[in-house]
Amino acid sequence: MAAAGGWRRANGRRRRRGREKEEEEEEEEEGGGAAVLRRLREARDDLLSSGFWAASAGAVRAPLGGGAEPPARCVCYGLGRFGGCPAARYQLAFLLLLLDELRVPPGRCSVFDPAFSPLEEAALGQLGLRLLPDNEEGKHGIEGSATLFYMVHCGKALYNNLLWRNWSAGALSRMVIVGNSFRGIEERLLSRILERDYSYIAKVLKGTEEVALPAHPRYLDTFNDTSVHWFPVGKLQELSPEVWDFVEEPTYQDCDDLEIIRKEDRGTQRSPAAAEP
């Protein structure tokens, strides 16, 4: 029976687990930047020796085989505390392998997570990656360059914002997104919620190609529900003209479980990509 005392004990366990996790992350960072980079190399070696990277190569290369333009740059959101969190560390190691596979120089990859510690920011700099200075809430334009977006386990609003910012066939067709399965989002959400809160995900589904990363027992929690998405221009051009007409910035006024950290509110604006061909 779930008595009040029982609920209090459960909450206590959760609080203890939370404190223990924070202490573990602090302890793992105590070794300094050299220790963080060493553990990252170990994670990379694990991805290679376990066969997961080799098994993922087909999904990673699928957009190129499907006619997508090779990416010239990369943007990464939501890595998390890789200095102390093994899952985040493996995701960063996978990103570095991905950049090497697609021949994107580390200096052409920009990274942002508001949770990064100064030690983690320094480690990213040592890896040659660039830090985005501001919280864009995912609203990053491709700026005319084919761009890979690496967004493993990010909130749905982040993907929706990214699509809004690049809402034109010309821009979307030059993007590849590695992140939460759009098909999975469609399956898990009621249609009315998807269309109301995440309308750009809903509208782009018929213009999307998607290949899932393989399942691996060692990385079930790290890369579960992760897919590679791209948007062939031919499929986008088959969408009805009405799909491209509404390009208002998402506000999420009716969304009860917004999964992103927002910066201060700004005025509503139209998608800057709307004028692109």
Residue 1 has pLDDT above 70, yes or no: no
pLDDT value for 116: 95
264 pLDDT tier (thresholds 50, 70, 90): low
Residue 274 has pLDDT above 80, yes or no: no
Q: Fill in the amino acid letter for 151.
A: M
List the alpha helices (DSSP H) in 102-139.
Answer: 118-126
Residue 6 has pLDDT above 70, yes or no: no
Tokens of 101: 């596979």
| Helix (H/G/I), strand (E/B), else coil: 263 | coil
pLDDT tens figures, 54-66: 999 999 999 999 8
Quote the distance between the C-alpha of residue 94 and its chain's center: 13
pTM of the full structure:
0.85
pLDDT value for 29: 52
pLDDT tens figures, 182-193: 999 999 999 999
**Nearest-angstrom CA–CA distance, 211 and 232:** 14
Q: What is the percent of the chain where pLDDT is above 70?
A: 83
For all residues of the chain together, what is the average pLDDT? 87
**Nearest-angstrom CA–CA distance, 122 and 89:** 15
pLDDT value for 61: 94
pLDDT tens figures, 131-177: 999 999 999 999 999 999 999 999 999 999 999 999 999 999 999 99
Burial of 277 (0-12, 13-18, 19+ CB in 10 A): exposed
Residue recorded with tokens 């929690």: 221
Strand (E) or helix (H) holding 204: helix 199-204
167 Rama sector, left if φ>0, alpha if ψ -120 to 50, beta otherwise: beta
Tokens of 23: 């202490």
